[in-house]
Structure 1
Amino acid sequence: MNPIYRFRRAAMACTLLAATAAGASGAAEPGNKAESQCRTVQANAAWQGSGVSVGPGQFICVGAEGLWSHGGQGIQAMTPFYGPEGFGKDEPNTVPEVVSRTGALIGRIGANAPFLIERQLCFIPAASGELSLSMNDQPGAFDNNRGSMHVQILKWADYRWAPRRIRLEPQACNAR
């Protein structure tokens, strides 16, 4: 079972334009306020808990900024640094998460299957549990990784209260 219903950057539900982290301005419902959490996700550690519990019917947005690396590459042993989109190529034979690319920011809810986040993802969870975050890398290969991502997580108690446009600013977070 897929743990999320996806809304990608192109979807109307999740764009980077107007509204604030507190919700759509001028909305009358008291439940339209989003809970905002900021975290730092280290490249050298697998599955880090966010402290955010999610469940069906909620609306969740995750945004990331930063640079990290999954270690040396190629004959030159160059160490590339890149953003939350990953190294730039899919490697389904060498990475455990066939849904994403090496070095991309990924998430999972509880013990469910991982999903691709990259720079921003807004979704309605189909499962309940804590949202965990990680760099997509081979199990046991995190010791040579460097860098981190600043991540902002917005959560609305009910997807019907989420604004049409969302502006995530993970670089402005006081990440923990």
Structure 2
Amino acid sequence: MMMDVQHIVSLLAPLKQQGMSPLQAVNALLSQASAGDGSVALVVPHEAIIASSEAVARALTQVFAPLNPAELAMILHESYPALSALDIGNVILAAEVFPDTPAAVMLSALTGAGFDANTAADAVNVLYPITVTVQSNQPWQATGLHVTGRQSTQISAQGSWTANPATGMVGPAGNRAFIAIPGYTLPGAPEGALVARIGDNAPFLVGTLGQAPVGQSGQMHLCINDDVNGIYGAGLKDNHGTLEVHIVTQPS
């Protein structure tokens, strides 16, 4: 099928005038394209299918405006059954389609299109990397990411903060000269290091670059490795500085 969007627009517009719905128009267009040379290719590269679906999506948003992400997801899932939830999500987020679609809207669109809740959630985690600022003077801070336990989640951090003004500023790896004792966020790890926790699981060290433990699921929270309850002194109250943390989920 030709990938020129304006050509597809010229083909869809008459079908709309005939009273076809967006789904009917796309299916008619795909049928015409398949039968154009009297045969149907037995094997079509997946990349070509994605390119075709993105071109059709861009044309649909022009011809059948106003169209929304939920409607487009349903059309793509039915017309292009080889596309995964992640594929469809990427098409929806493409430039000139719906690049500003919020994560919650995407999740609803994918489940509404017929993908099961786990598949849709996995796709959304990949589609929406998260960047958060973690404060040194606050306890466990939410990232907004629900780790599913079915994917690889990588965490990287930069910046400087301190858990002890007397020993100075440190990076995400913390101060290796001072190892946290019981009562700290993560005993046995460097004081001032970035620590994460998923759901009710035990905290784990992130430092400058870390990965969520395989199989753990739940909301991810982040914290500085310090005397969070003030058992030994000021606790978090005398801390200052922040880290910028980037969280990326890899496809399973």
Shorter-chain TM band = 0.5 to 0.7
Q: Which moved more, 1:93-102 or 1:114-123?
A: 93-102
Q: Deviations over 1:95-145 (max 9, x none)?
A: 352242110000000121100000011345322100100000012311110
Identify which of 46, 51, 66 aligns with 2:139. Answer: 46
8 A Cα contact 2:185 2:226, kept in partner: yes
Q: Distance between the aligned counterparts of 1:59 and 1:99, measured in 2?
A: 25
How far apart are the structure 1 equivalents of 2:211 and 2:185? 23
The residue type paired with residue 174 of structure 2 is G
Shift, 1:44, TM fit: 0.3
Equivalent position of 2:177 in the other structure: 89
Pairs aligned (count): 127
What's 2:211 paired with? Answer: 122
Q: Which runs of 5+ in 2 are unaligned?
A: 1-45, 48-82, 91-125, 230-234
Amino acid at match of 1:119: T
Counterpart contact for 1:109–1:130, Cα < 8 Å: yes
Partners of 1:43 and 1:132 in 2: CA distance: 13
Shift in CA distance, 96/150, structure 1 to aligned 2, threshold 3 Å: closer
> 1:99·1:115 contact (CA, 8 Å) conserved in 2?
no
Identity across the alignment (%): 28
Q: Deviations over 1:39-97 (max 9, x none)?
A: 00000001001000002221101100001011333xxxxx5001000012352435352
State the secondary structure of the residue aligned to 1:88. Answer: strand
**Superposition TM-score, scaled by structure 1 size:** 0.64
5+ long unaligned stretches in structure 1: 1-26, 74-78, 159-176
The match for 1:143 is 237
Other-structure match for 1:59: 152
Alignment of 1:147-166 (within 5 A): 147-158=241-252
- Bigger mean CA offset, 83-92 vs 145-154: 83-92
Greater alpha carbon shift after TM alignment, 89-98 vs 147-156: 89-98
Larger Rg: 2
Question: Deviation per CA, 1:150-169, whole angstroms, max 9, x where unpaired?
Answer: 010011352xxxxxxxxxxx
How far apart are the structure 1 equivalents of 2:169 and 2:179? Answer: 17
Name the SS for the 1:144 alignment partner.
coil
Distance 1:40 1:96 in 2: 18
Alignment of 1:1-80 (within 5 A): 31=86, 34=126, 35-73=128-166, 79-80=167-168
- Say if 1:55 and 1:125, in contact at 8 Å, map to a contact too: no
Distance 2:245 2:187 in 1: 23
The 1:70–1:134 alpha-carbon spacing in structure 2 relative to 1, beyond 3 Å, is: same
- Which protein is richer in helix relative to its size? 2
